[in-house]
Amino acid sequence: MESQVINMVETAVWDLMAKVLNENQGICTCPKCRADIAAVALNNLKPRYVTSNKGQVMARADNLDQNTYIAVLVALAKAVEQVAPNPRHDESPQP
């Protein structure tokens, strides 16, 4: 079986993105803006890497402690505040 290295914080950022965007009405949710939000948030978070075989990744994602979960939510909220007023997408924004 092939192992891979996974940043569990990145996984959490993408998993929690919808929750944060739903709480911030009016922000663009196009792929470019979502990627910008994720990049800003991840640049402000400490990565947590694990090695895992396929199928075990989700089990490890549940093991993020409460402090990491809160840190991800805060980083995402701050990233939304930074990206929302200055979207870099070329297309018309999507609410």
Helices (H), 1-95: 8-23, 31-43, 57-61, 66-83
Give the residue among 48, 61, 39, 55 at the shortest CA–CA distance from 5.
48
Residue with tokens 């663009």: 28
Give pLDDT, residue 60. Answer: 56
Confirm if 54 and 11 have CB atoms less than 8 A apart. no
* Residue-wise pLDDT tens digits, 38-82: 999 999 999 988 887 655 555 555 667 788 889 999 999 999 999
Mean pLDDT of 22-45: 92
- Distance between CA atoms of residues 90 and 79, nearest Å: 19
In the structure, what pLDDT confidence band is assigned to residue 23 with cuts at 50, 70 and 90?
Answer: confident
